[in-house]
Structure 1
């Protein structure tokens, strides 16, 4: 069997070997190698011929973690829910379910559904205590109820769990107990940092954030580092410390750009053809029948274009029609990305340009590839114009005067060498 480019030769013969490679796929997620992780999970799914529900549940869990990290939040919830069903009756099924419930809560947080997030965090906590569960419940206690006592109690319980777990050799079976212990530390420290910031103790908050950042960088947990850098930049901004705010936001943008590229690459590979399904307790090898390969491509205009390529079966040579439900699901995912771009622009979020690059790679490529060498701020202005924000709106979102935006537009026209009288909005739409 031909292996995916960039991956080692693997041979999934036993449940043990399958679990070994699934763990490797999870490690790839930790370092933001989503494309490689998804490809490895595809290979495992194709080669595994056993009937272990644990193996199938862990494959689904790996897929769902990738979906969460690349922005397919609803797909992540659905996939983890399937994994939970497979865990019923397993020897360690409750522990796995606790992991999946915790992750489902994280996905609901991304979707802005706090009540559902609380429900699933508590489901997880009732089975097994994870550091991320304590942090999630702490943040929600502040954000939904302004209950700082409850927030602190969750964090202190989390810190105690970490200490006890290490003292009792709770990490003994892990491949790298020190790694897991440090990651748990960073997770709780980040929770404390947010707690103290909301309490108004900025000095303690920054100290906790810095400790968490140092650990996450040493562990090469890119996603966690990105979150911390963004929050630190915001904390400094609220204090009027623009020097440090710009410093952390700049590092955040640089790291987030690399993360966005990893997400975009992973969305371009065939995800549908290795989702594990249950059918009469047998693994369905999707590739032995049909492969659905989809790529998401954002083109200049007011709508997204969905491109589905259907590969012929080697025997029947018959095309398979992608269901209307599948089309609607993908369309919805794209619409959610568009809404996120709009929200980031309106909030003057430093992540706006990085997200715009991810959702509209074709347009960004045209703007950045010109010989004019547009700056990031000029490309951001172009992006807002392309999104049809008025001068008044751009001024409001970027906290500048109306006249300042008009001057920026005038300078942009000159830099682009546009003829006098050219409508900048129509010109941008024509790219």
Structure 2
């Protein structure tokens, strides 16, 4: 917030009101930065009157907002601060929210097993307090379905949990998600159209659709138009969805809309517009969260350090008090030495476990990269229209550096660069794109001129070393 509130005005009741009404109102209106900064202020006021519940609630709210901004590591640090003080017995709803945010962060970081473990904790706890927890339970099923999209058996697993979510509540938003799923992963236009019709039929009866849910529903309709070949109507709805995402600063959805609009223009053979939106997509991904960092990051990071330092100081004071109260007798010294040695042994074991875990995650990361490489190669071999966009996602630096040299390159030239980077020969490229090898050689020659590559420099080596 631009101006600090008067701290003298804040008691427990007023802080509760601001956290549960004002902050929620900001979020509903898409004013996420305002909600974040107000939450920081409210924690400060809660600390001054030792209102522990509001401090913990504020940490969870900040963690949730940081997750939306894509600041997953910072979000996890705030969750750790909150989680120490919340149990399933004393505050079930807040614990459910903590499980949900943990899962979303790990899912975004592609740590699927970790994400699913938290969603499962939430599902088990939600089932204990039904029907009051049905909204939580349905959301956990949706999030678990999304997490499974990063696994090999994503088709069956994700569908199971999406349908479980709809069994709990038949909402327009969840039908839209299901429609999107059938289009993207099952290529089933009939099923997608069926569930989108169900989505539309409920919209008139449902008056609680949030702005974010509306953007996803618009995107689902646009995806169906695109799949049916109605690219103009698809572009119109993508733009409407994009406008909402901009207002709410939903960076992931903004990026997706740019990508889909570029693909739609490419199908319309409007290469200039397709290139413009592909360029926007590339540049947006590079500058994502810049506005957030400028307005909020320094405030939130500084505040986080203060909270962690405060917690560590409290721990240190507690230890000092305990040590000071211990007798100076030989027995006390013996006990201290014993427990210190035991703690050191535990730390060694924990460090070994962390090293093993990191090694395992590195292996998994390498496997994912290999899998992504094979996927990109297969798209190229099949001359799939999605090849260039997928290449951009897996190797974002390549096209960015090329466009920095010459931003006027069109998609066909970027596609050629991508194939060269993948080390395809002229014969391979000709075969995959259904042209003569001489045509490929001519395209390479023109590409050299546009990128100002000297004749004595090997084109493949030059692009690979970007």
TM-score by length of 1: 0.66
Contact 2:218–2:238, Cα closer than 8 Å, also in 1: yes
Q: Deviations over 1:343-386 (max 9, x none)?
A: 3463532353454257xxxxx7xx96xxxx85587999888666
1:31 aligns with 2:69: yes
Moved more, 78-87 or 393-402: 393-402
1:241 aligns with 2:270: yes
1:331 aligns with 2:346: no
Distance 2:117 2:443 in 1: 44
User: Per the alignment, do residues 145 and 70 of structure 1 end up closer, same or farther by CA in structure 2, a change over 3 Å counting?
Assistant: closer
* Corresponding position of 1:108: 148
* Corresponding position of 2:193: 152
Q: CA deviation at 1:235?
A: 1.3
Matching of residues 245-256 of structure 1 within 5 Å: 245-256=274-285
* Corresponding position of 1:82: 121
Q: CA deviation at 1:141?
A: 4.1
User: Per the alignment, do residues 74 and 85 of structure 1 end up closer, same or farther by CA in structure 2, a change over 3 Å counting?
Assistant: same
Q: CA deviation at 1:221?
A: 1.1
* Corresponding position of 2:23: none
Q: CA deviation at 1:114?
A: 1.8
Contact 2:226–2:264, Cα closer than 8 Å, also in 1: yes
Distance 1:185 1:427 in 2: 42
Q: CA deviation at 1:321?
A: 0.6
Q: CA deviation at 1:193?
A: 1.1
Matching of residues 288-303 of structure 1 within 5 Å: none
Aligned residues: 354
Unpaired stretches in structure 2, ≥5 consecutive residues:
1-36, 292-311, 316-339, 381-385
* Corresponding position of 1:269: none
* Corresponding position of 2:440: 402
Distance 2:360 2:263 in 1: 36
1:321 aligns with 2:359: no
Distance 1:36 1:182 in 2: 25
Distance 1:155 1:207 in 2: 17
Return the match for 1:67 from 83, 99, 106.
106
Contact 1:256–1:351, Cα closer than 8 Å, also in 2: no
Q: Deviations over 1:88-111 (max 9, x none)?
A: 313533321210110111223344
User: Per the alignment, do residues 398 and 325 of structure 1 end up closer, same or farther by CA in structure 2, a change over 3 Å counting?
Assistant: farther
Distance 1:379 1:199 in 2: 27
Q: Deviations over 1:59-115 (max 9, x none)?
A: 221122123333334543333223322333135333212101101112233446222
User: Per the alignment, do residues 130 and 254 of structure 1 end up closer, same or farther by CA in structure 2, a change over 3 Å counting?
Assistant: farther
User: Per the alignment, do residues 227 and 353 of structure 1 end up closer, same or farther by CA in structure 2, a change over 3 Å counting?
Assistant: closer
Distance 2:250 2:452 in 1: 43
Give the greater-gyration-radius structure (CA).
Answer: 2
User: Per the alignment, do residues 384 and 96 of structure 1 end up closer, same or farther by CA in structure 2, a change over 3 Å counting?
Assistant: same
Task: For CA contacts below 8 A with separation 6 or more, give which structure has more relative contact order.
Answer: 1
User: Per the alignment, do residues 338 and 357 of structure 1 end up closer, same or farther by CA in structure 2, a change over 3 Å counting?
Assistant: farther
TM-score by length of 2: 0.61
Contact 1:41–1:59, Cα closer than 8 Å, also in 2: yes
Contact 2:126–2:133, Cα closer than 8 Å, also in 1: yes
Distance 2:363 2:234 in 1: 40
* Corresponding position of 1:135: 176
* Corresponding position of 1:120: 161
Contact 1:382–1:428, Cα closer than 8 Å, also in 2: no
Q: CA deviation at 1:42?
A: 2.9
Q: Secondary structure of the equivalent of 2:275? A: helix
Q: Secondary structure of the equivalent of 1:316? A: helix
Return the match for 1:340 from 348, 362, 372.
372
* Corresponding position of 1:307: none
Q: Secondary structure of the equivalent of 1:246? A: helix
Contact 1:260–1:355, Cα closer than 8 Å, also in 2: no
Q: Secondary structure of the equivalent of 2:199? A: helix
* Corresponding position of 1:216: 245
RMSD across aligned C-alpha pairs, in angstroms? 4.4
Distance 2:396 2:275 in 1: 21
Contact 1:186–1:215, Cα closer than 8 Å, also in 2: yes
Distance 2:51 2:373 in 1: 44
* Corresponding position of 1:57: 96
Q: Secondary structure of the equivalent of 1:71? A: coil
Distance 1:379 1:241 in 2: 15
User: Per the alignment, do residues 211 and 428 of structure 1 end up closer, same or farther by CA in structure 2, a change over 3 Å counting?
Assistant: closer
* Corresponding position of 1:95: 135
Return the match for 2:257 from 225, 228, 232.
228
Q: Deviations over 1:196-231 (max 9, x none)?
A: 222233332222222212222122111112112211
Matching of residues 164-203 of structure 1 within 5 Å: 164-166=205-207, 170=208, 181-203=210-232
